[in-house]
Structure 1
Amino acid sequence: MRKYVSECIGTFVLVFLGCGTAMLVGTSPDGGYLLTALAFGLAIVAMAYSIGNVSGCHVNPAVSLAVFVRGDMSGKDLAGYIIAQVIGAFLGACLLWLLFLIGGVTDMTGGLGANGLAGVGGRASVGLAVEIVLTFVFVMAVLGATSSKYDHKPVAGLVIGLSLVLVHILGIGLTGTSVNPARSLGPAVMAFITGNAEPLSSVWVFIVAPLIGGLCAALLYDAIEGRKHEE
């Protein structure tokens, strides 16, 4: 249960700080891109060095799926992690909505920082491709930085956070960058509850694509590094 609570907290922080920054500054190329990318990445760095020793700081169903495929967690924990991550993302989106509503602050994203397909012309196929590739890159970095074969633990959180910044720099202008089903689902559901159904209509892209990307990363990483039982 401590692991699940940690994952809930970590995903809450990711959505609250990452999506909150996007809501506040927007996602325009003249500054909003970089600030939002840094917010997501630095949130991961902060959580990696606080809850990492408890749960591993996945805060992302795609990462949890990859770890499961690699044989490093049970099916029970996979389900528990994903449920906790989705709850945390929804709570983060709820608090953002309340704060922006009470404070009378304009949401520059128009949808609680939810992901969308406007940057790819509304084409789901392109959005799927973008998110699969970005998630693949990110999860490969996670698996490499946390591999038990190498002593990267002291800098793993920093590497993972900077990798998330990297994929956001490209992805924000295309899909808003998900690479995380929970991060997309929480704001999309909250936006729907508050009267904006558009993010929820395309949220399936940001659930399916990251899971495919994470699965591909796990399988390829197994091929190039080797499973533990082969050592």
Structure 2
Amino acid sequence: MEIKSSTKYFAELIGTFSLVLFGCGAAVVAGVSASGPAGLGLLGISFAFGLAVVVMAYAIGGISGCHINPAITVAMLTAGKIKSGEAVGYIVSQFIGATLAAGVLYLLQSGSPGWELGEYALGSNGWGEGYGGGYNITSAFLAEAVFTFLFLFVIFGTTSKWGNGTMAGLAIGVTLVLVHMVCIPITGTSVNPARSFGPALFAGGKALQQLWLFIVAPLVGGIAAAIVWRVLEKKP
């Protein structure tokens, strides 16, 4: 039975909402600040994002493919695996889901005594002095582009005719854990424009000013992965 586009869009909204709320929620509520990991620590935050992808992959993968990330949707469009009209619906739904999750996180945090909306609040991504390890813009862009490329390469591989579809969700989630383990000190880890958009919209300031990088770099990495995978698929 064919699944309605509206059902796919709603699944993408819920999936992205869950990713941002679980991942950024773990970082903000249970343990990371703009100056570095605390509480849960880097490993805990990494697993929060990765496990969120795993559970959503098995929850909505059969409905929408569980993109929950505009970089994935654009990469799939580049690879010819989704139509342009549906891709637009996916991306709009992903941005709405991420924004709603950031809003819920804002309401949760506002209930904490003495809490104030900081410069990189709600798990916002960033770079430079005052953020994480203080890495510069070149390192930030390179990290986001390269690790998005690797993330998408795993996605294409595990969901291809050569991959093991039943294990795809787990492999993709574990890959995201690995990505976060390296990138958190550099950018807080985005590899997902919607994940960056929601928190930055509420945080404003530098988080919003630097948002462009977390849109452009993941898209560059995702498109590059799609092009490379199309070349591999054509090889005998």
> Could you tell me the TM-score, scaled by structure 1's length?
0.91
1:40 aligns with 2:49: yes
Alignment partners' CA distance in 2, 1:104 and 1:87: 28
Matching residue of 1:198: 206
**Mean CA deviation greater in 30-39 or 57-66:** 30-39
Aligned pair partner of 2:123 in 113, 132, 137? 113
Matching residue of 2:3: none
Task: Give identity over the alignment, percent.
Answer: 45
Aligned pair partner of 2:181 in 169, 187, 192? 169
Instruction: Give 1:4 deviation, angstroms.
Output: 0.4
Q: Would the aligned equivalents of 1:23 and 1:108 in 2 still touch at CA under 8 Å?
A: no
Q: How many residues align?
A: 223
Matching residue of 2:225: 217
Alignment partners' CA distance in 2, 1:104 and 1:17: 22
Instruction: Give 1:127 deviation, angstroms.
Output: 1.1
Alignment partners' CA distance in 1, 2:100 and 2:74: 22
Q: Would the aligned equivalents of 1:120 and 1:127 in 2 still touch at CA under 8 Å?
A: no
Alignment partners' CA distance in 2, 1:76 and 1:110: 34
Q: CA RMSD in A?
A: 2.0
1:225 partner letter: E
Matching residue of 1:18: 23
Where 1:50 maps in the other structure, the secondary structure is helix
Alignment partners' CA distance in 1, 2:134 and 2:180: 18
Any idea what the Cα deviations from partners look like across 1:109-133, whole Å, max 9, x if unmatched? Answer: 9510010103463632221111001
> Could you tell me the TM-score, scaled by structure 2's length?
0.89
Alignment partners' CA distance in 1, 2:99 and 2:192: 13
Matching residue of 1:61: 70
Matching residue of 1:127: 140
Gaps of 5+ in 2: 1-5
Matching residue of 1:5: 10
Alignment partners' CA distance in 2, 1:110 and 1:224: 40
Aligned pair partner of 1:187 in 199, 224, 232? 199
Q: Would the aligned equivalents of 1:15 and 1:93 in 2 still touch at CA under 8 Å?
A: yes
Alignment partners' CA distance in 2, 1:14 and 1:71: 25
Q: Would the aligned equivalents of 1:120 and 1:126 in 2 still touch at CA under 8 Å?
A: no
Alignment partners' CA distance in 1, 2:155 and 2:82: 15
Instruction: Give 1:78 deviation, angstroms.
Output: 0.9
